Structure 1
């Protein structure tokens, strides 16, 4: 069996004659099917570090790519509340693919966040009817993507050191700075064009199948009319525009939780079938599942993840309500309160998730450190992406809110 056969086999006509789910519960069940297929050879695919074409095809065939798409165009018309749980579920099977899906949802929603009504309608019809996957060349710490005007067009040129989705995306969100100004412009363009050149240089410790390497943008031409949220070359600001950061930070937290849950599920299955009880403790057990320190250890880790899940579900419902409400209704204060709660959820799952991904080795035993077991994938994935932005600043945001009743000002990371 080749490294991608498990995923490819899982795709064979699996959903061809199956009706699309009609409820949130049905979509979560569909996501679990996808996760189960991905989990079967996640370690082998991670080791191979190949471009995840088959995995993305699975996301499309299952219908998950158009979960947030309008029903009028064949999408599920589901809420962000459901989308966050779907991201988490897929990440249990493969953290990389959970990230790809989560980023896709955010960039598919980017038009609603910043674009005009006509632009929103056009983008949503385009991606939903075609089952397109979004990627994003949007790394705010890189300021070397410059936009120059050429009549009624904008020309994007430069480089981004990260572009999640890369070669498996159908559409790419570009972000750059208009030459001679401090104005940021977002635009959605087809990925398959000569002016977008991926370096294929993503070779990090974890999240290896996210296609997150660098990209060179070579004179990509975009009509001014496609600059998201601009009318007559002037941006039309709303507080709602700034929800992109809290929304994607909660995407992060949910696939972190999924990775941690996957670690605990994988470890507990190993303990039930393979871990041996310790015979030198004076209170010898016949089965590892009766070992007191294993019962205590799994109980402690599970309790932490259940608490994290409850917090992320609560704040997921909060931001979902705001994301689906009229854009003009959102106030800066409400936006800030939600951002603080998301920061709290993220910092908790990073700490707890890394503890889970490390401590499972103590609960499975020395033999579980074998590469064939593959427990390392969970720690590597979580450790890699949780470095996206410093957790210390999330703690400061929460502390400032608690002590001073101040909400964070919108930035590229808050």
Structure 2
């Protein structure tokens, strides 16, 4: 039995035939059950760096993949407010799988963001009824995926440096530029086809199980009618279309918080059982848990994460309200205000999370640096993904709002 297979063996029978969670609170309990399973061997699975097929099966069997899907097709039809908290909880147990789930939620919602009503209905029925996981070959800094017209079809060709979800996805969101124009085209296609070839080259410092390596797209054909948001080959723009960036940026912030919470939980458990009191300070304690500097250290770190949680929950409630409202109602100003709040939350959890993931080594002691303890996984995961886009620009966005009353203009990263 492989390490990855051990994640689900004998542990998910509890959900077969069981009543599905009825509300957001019960879904958070379900997410915690998943997180607890993932945490047991997260370090070993990270070291093995194997494709996480079993972990995805766990998400599917738990019902988390269809959390946002319509009830009519077997989904839970929960809100984004709940989805953000589910991402955070799963990331406490395994940051990589929290990211995979968060990206899936964004791509599962992509049809609602940009597609026509008929396209939305078709996509949501497809992925919800099939319990399918999304990946995305979407990286706006890569301009080497092109789209050409061939009669009633579009043909995607080229390469993307990053494609989170990769081989573990059932559906892939493609994005490219229509030849001879500056028009970006999104389409959803089955992952398992000859024209999608993953390089298997994701071997980074952290988030190692996200399958985020490069992909080659070889003449993948899509009906023009499936181009998201196009009517008679003309895109129909709405301000709502631009919510994709703040939505995914808050996904980032929530799995960052989950990773930091996992670091603090793991470290505090270690301190309670294994850290030894320091006998040379003149204020000798019998147990490490009585050491004033450890109590102070854990108190400061937990206070920061509680503050981050409050900020992210407030931002999550704000964007969830507009994501579930009528698309035509969203104004540019409201969109910008929400984006600023999310930028503020992201920059705070990046700073605080990295502090937590570093400081825990001082609070646990030298023996906690053993590879078998695995405290390094939290810093590696958070450090890796927090470089996704420069945090300095998030700080500037907040500063421009405060000083100049300017909202960020929608782009691929704001």
Range of TM-score over shorter length? over 0.9
Q: Distance in 2 between the 1:389 and 1:238 partners? A: 25
What is the CA–CA distance in structure 2 between the aligned matches of 1:130 and 1:324, rounded to whole Å? 23
Contact kept in structure 1, 2:173 and 2:188, CA below 8 Å: yes
Q: Quick check: 2:267–2:364 contact (8 Å CA) kept in 1?
A: yes
Map of 1:90 onto structure 2: 90
Which deviations, in whole Å up to 9, do the C-alpha atoms of 1:55-82 show, x marking residues without a partner? 0000000000000000011100000000
For the 8 Å contact 2:400–2:406, the answer to whether it is kept is yes
Give secondary structure in 1 for the equivalent of 2:18.
Answer: coil
Residue 273 of structure 1: aligned partner: 273
Give me the whole-angstrom Cα distance separating, in 2, the residues matched to 1:165 and 1:10. Answer: 25
Relative distance call for 1:5 and 1:118 in structure 2 (3 A) is closer
* 1:413 matched residue in structure 2: 413
The gaps in structure 1 that reach 5 residues or longer are none
Question: In the alignment, is the contact (CA less than 8 A) between 1:333 and 1:407 conserved in 2?
Answer: yes
Quick one: structure 1 residues 399 and 291, their matched pair in 2 at CA, closer, same or farther if it must change by over 3 Å?
same
Alpha-carbon distance, 1:5 to partner: 4.6
Q: Work out the CA distance in 1 between the residues paired with 2:141 and 2:242.
A: 17
Alignment gaps of 5+ in structure 2:
none
Runs in 1 of length 4+ with deviation above 3 angstroms?
none
Cα deviation 1:282-331 (Å, max 9, x = unaligned): 00000111000000000000000000000000000000000000000000
The residue number in structure 2 matching 1:218 is 218
Within 5 Å, which residues of 2 pair with 1:13-412?
13-412=13-412
Q: How many residue pairs end up in the alignment?
A: 414
Instruction: Determine the C-alpha separation between the residues in 2 that align with 1:317 and 1:18.
Output: 30
What's the offset of the Cα at 1:2?
4.1
1:6: how far off?
Answer: 3.5
CA distance in 1, matches of 2:46, 2:59: 17
Residues in 2 aligned to 1:242 and 1:100: alpha-carbon distance in whole angstroms: 22
CA deviation digits over 1:181-237, x for unaligned, max 9? Answer: 000000000000000000000000000000000000000000000000000000000
TM-score, structure 2 normalization: 0.99
Shift of 1:18: 1.2
Tell me how far 1:9 sits from its aligned partner.
Answer: 2.0
SS of the equivalent of 1:45 reads helix
For residues 8 and 318 of structure 1, the distance between their equivalents in structure 2, rounded to whole angstroms, comes to 35
Whether the aligned pair in 1 keeps the contact of 2:162 and 2:214 (CA below 8 Å) is: yes
Q: Secondary structure at the match of 1:194?
A: coil
Note the aligned Cα RMSD (angstroms): 0.7
Secondary structure at the residue paired with 2:15? coil
User: Could you report, residue by residue, the CA deviation over 1:91-121 in whole angstroms, capped at 9, with x for unpaired residues?
Assistant: 0000000000000000000000000000000
What is the distance in 1 between the residues matched to 2:375 and 2:139?
30
* TM-score, normalised with respect to structure 1: 0.99
Residues 323-367 of structure 1 show CA distances to partners (whole Å, capped at 9, x for unaligned) of: 000000000000000000000000000000000000000000000
**What secondary structure sits across from 1:66 in the alignment?**
coil
